[in-house]
A and B are shown apart, each in its own frame.
Chain A
Amino acid sequence: MIHESKEVSKIEVTDIELTFSDIYEKPYFPKEHAEEIQRANALIIPYDEGFRDHNNPLFPEESVVFFQYVQDASNGTEVTFDICASDEQFHELELHADLINIPNIIMTVVAFPIVTGLITNYLYDKMKSRRTDLKVKVNLIVETEGKSKRISYEGDADKFESTIKAINLLDE
């Protein structure tokens, strides 16, 4: 379940059939923002499945805050961030558990190190305002040459950076 986690630093890398082009064809893709979204090399996307009886695309709570943070922080870098939703479609799923779900992000391999650095900084700011450990779940999809890998991290926020740095996408 996505309310809680007992993991310390679990990471999984799997092949996945999902590319930027596939996202552009999804029913939830907001065509009115197609031009700007297709410029992004790091794109926040909704959960890939519904929640309970709810089948509309959903984003985790605080996705707006996260989106604004990464948009500001990626200024001047090679990463262009966007979010695959219009205001009208955008719904956040709040679970009110003490666990941070970072929104799913699809990115190019060039964007990967910068995006993971931005997530690390975002989590660091979150940890600063706490006195207890923070658990986090992160799902990243990295596309390179038309193929994609899903990198899923679950565990302590302060171990995200070192764990993610330990994987080498080229070797996987």
Chain B
Amino acid sequence: MDILAIKDYLHNFRGTVLNEDIPTHLKSLKAIEVSQNNQSAAKEIWCIEQVYKVIRGYLSAFRNLQEKKHFDAWLAFDRTDIELSFLRKHLDFQDNNFHLPFYDKMIFQYQKLFPYQYFMSREMIVKRASCSICGATVSLRRPCGHRIGEIYNGEQCGRIIQDAEFLAIAIVTNPFDKYTVLFPQGMEYNYSMLDTLLTQISGPYDDWNLDFLKERKKEFIGVGRNQLCPCNSGKKYKMCCHGTDNELFDHHRITVQTSTPRNNIPMFSVHTWK
């Protein structure tokens, strides 16, 4: 396969299993461009390699969801999201190249339906790092010239930590490392939003939209301002939860875009834990 055929294949791909030979083809093509110091062509091939990783990761995540391997699916979505973020500064998503806006939207939406709320954030002191391109130790006043995230010889520049001191783990709600989900002993996450969605779509390329709405909790509907607050505080409703987030809950409304959704499911409430 030449580069145009690979690009065409990835742009139009709507299956479930990718051609496994493509990474080898791309590697060979990139080696030729690098040997000729053709940096822009090598960078383009790196972008296509990333697209391949994004599609493969997305399919893997979806397959894990189908098999109810939820945490594996979470990890695959997270890794795919990272690969996509590497690509964002090098490829214009607005042109709908390879349908990247679709993958971007779907990864975000699927992640939002997971029940995970608490994560671990590692605290670490990095004392020495080196450049992944040239191996030079990172220096403040004698920089090697390679910038993190840029592409050199068809490879993305990063930092390799050479010396670090681990300090602690903090529990956070907005982690950088999304794989660090907390699994408290004796408690089981409730994945019913995802599982219900999976009954309504037929494959990874079925499109659906997710809206985030705030709805009033059932116990607060119809309560008079001067009545006791349903939260059992003993205060009047108007002096307590009225007009606050306490009387609201998050409603994730899913609209399946395909022509034949299997049935319309009324709103139901879901707890984080089973």
Contact = CB atoms under 8 A, between A and B. Distances in A.
Interface of A: 1, 3-4, 33, 51-52, 54, 58, 61, 64-65, 67-68, 83, 85-87, 90-99, 128-131, 135
A51 B175 CA distance: 19
Contact of B139 (A58, A61, A87): A87
B174 A98 contact: yes
Given A58-B125, A97-B176, A131 B140 contact: no
Given A3-B121, A52-B123, A129-B88, 15 more contacts: A1-B170, A4-B174, A52-B168, A54-B167, A61-B126, A91-B127, A92-B125, A92-B126, A94-B125, A94-B126, A95-B122, A96-B121, A97-B121, A97-B172, A128-B88
A28 to B, nearest CB: 13
A98 B140 contact: no
B248 interface: no
B160 interface: no
B123 A68 contact: no
B251 to A, nearest CB: 19
B177 A96 contact: yes
Nearest to B178: A98
A83 B121 contact: no
B126 A65 contact: no
Contact of A4 (B89, B141, B143, B172): B172
Interface string B104-134: 1000100000000000011111110000000
A131 B148 contact: no
A1 B121 CA distance: 12
Interface residues of B, number: 31
B216 interface: no
Interface centre among A1, A52, A61, A98 (most CB of B within 10 A): A98
A86 to B, nearest CB: 8
Given A68-B147, A129-B85, A131-B104, A91 B125 contact: yes
Interface centre among B88, B122, B142, B176 (most CB of A within 10 A): B176
A68 B172 CA distance: 29
B101 to A, nearest CB: 10
Interface of B: 85, 88-89, 104, 108, 121-127, 137-143, 147-148, 165, 167-168, 170, 172-177
A93 B170 CA distance: 13
A58 to B, nearest CB: 7
Nearest to B142: A87
Contacts of B140: 64, 67, 83, 85-87, 90
Contacts of A58: 125
A54 to B, nearest CB: 6
Contact of B173 (A4, A67, A85): A4
Contact of A94 (B124, B139, B147, B148): B124
Interface centre among B88, B123, B177 (most CB of A within 10 A): B123
Contact of A96 (B122, B125, B143): B122
A68 B175 contact: no
B193 to A, nearest CB: 19
Contacts of A93: 123-125
Nearest to B180: A96
B72 to A, nearest CB: 22
Contacts of B137: 87
Contact of B89 (A3, A94, A129): A129
Contacts of B121: 3, 95-97
17 contacts: A52-B167, A54-B125, A64-B138, A65-B147, A68-B143, A86-B140, A87-B139, A90-B140, A92-B126, A94-B125, A95-B121, A95-B123, A96-B177, A97-B170, A97-B176, A128-B89, A131-B108
